[in-house]
């Protein structure tokens, strides 16, 4: 990852959540922050700003610690918030806190979740969606990219997230979002449906991967790429062009996709 970052001269890094396994951080002084972040991503090219969303495993720990500004004093690269917007000139990145959307977590008796700041849930989701719609409608970015932890569409172990299909996807379609990027499933994949120009990109294999967990219900023409090993992805954008590349853990290119914004076509 560091070598590819150097080759591409990256501007920043995006983390799709589940930043600290298995149960998030225990507090601001949890050594897991440095052991799992600062001391791991040491390559020169990765000394850029990191933008992170929360995953369901992060919610099993102290969420308020993970989003607290004090962690930025420990490592200035770290920026993790519940939902936020990054205006990167030609691109707008809209980070969404997807864990509270998933109903099953609120009835999970096997784990404890930190719902401070989320309950009452309906009010939280209504506010989140209202703010996102406002941001998407006002955005003049050439490219609109939404980032969340859970997949909208996935051929991996967890599969599609019904709540996001019902509540989030209609908004992404209405405001011409180009890409939805997520983690959660421990694989790399690219799904492109015929009913929408949105590219669904899963990058959840940065730490571990689940071998053989391919959900066969996706049609071959929709599932453009699936890899059940470790790896990561890059996104390169110009005013009229986008290039998405998936790599394995050793930096070997596994899949490439290019789009021409001006022509509204992809190859």
CA 153, chain centre distance (Å) = 13
Contact between residue 111 and residue 60 where contact means Cβ atoms under 8 Å apart? yes
Q: CA–CA separation, 45 vs 10, rounded Å?
A: 7
CB-based contacts of 199, cutoff 8 Å, min separation 6:
178, 179, 180, 190, 191, 192, 244, 257, 259, 266
Cα–Cα distance, 157 to 186 (Å, whole number): 8
C-alpha distances out from residue 263 to 10, 101, 250, 258, Å = 26, 35, 34, 12
Task: Give catalytic residue positions.
Answer: 158
Spatial neighbors of 107 by CB under 8 A, at least 6 apart, are none
């Amino acid at each position: 990852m560091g070598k590819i970052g150097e080759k591409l001269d990256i501007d920043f890094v995006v983390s799709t959540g589940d930043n600290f396994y298995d149960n998030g951080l225990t507090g601001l002084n949890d050594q897991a922050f440095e052991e799992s972040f600062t001391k791991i991503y040491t390559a020169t090219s990765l000394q850029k700003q990191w933008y992170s969303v929360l995953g369901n495993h992060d919610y099993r720990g102290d969420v308020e610690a993970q989003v607290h500004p004090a962690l930025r004093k420990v490592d200035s690269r770290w920026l993790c918030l519940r939902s936020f917007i990054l205006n990167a000139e030609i691109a707008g990145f809209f980070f969404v806190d997807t864990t509270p959307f998933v109903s099953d977590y609120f009835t999970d008796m096997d784990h404890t979740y930190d719902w401070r700041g989320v309950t009452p849930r309906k009010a939280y989701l209504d506010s989140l969606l209202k703010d996102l719609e406002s941001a998407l409608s006002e955005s003049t970015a050439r490219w609109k990219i939404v980032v969340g932890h859970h997949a909208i569409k996935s051929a991996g172990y967890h599969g599609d997230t019904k709540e996001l299909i019902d509540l989030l996807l209609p908004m992404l379609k209405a405001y011409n979002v180009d890409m939805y990027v997520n983690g959660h499933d421990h694989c790399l994949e690219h799904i492109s449906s015929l009913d929408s120009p949105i590219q669904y990109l899963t990058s959840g294999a940065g730490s571990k991967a689940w071998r053989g967990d391919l959900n066969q219900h996706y049609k071959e023409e929709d599932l453009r790429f699936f890899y059940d090993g470790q790896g990561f992805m890059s996104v390169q954008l110009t005013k009229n062009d986008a290039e998405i590349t998936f790599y394995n853990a050793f930096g070997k290119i596994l899949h490439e996709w290019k789009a021409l914004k001006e022509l509204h076509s992809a190859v």
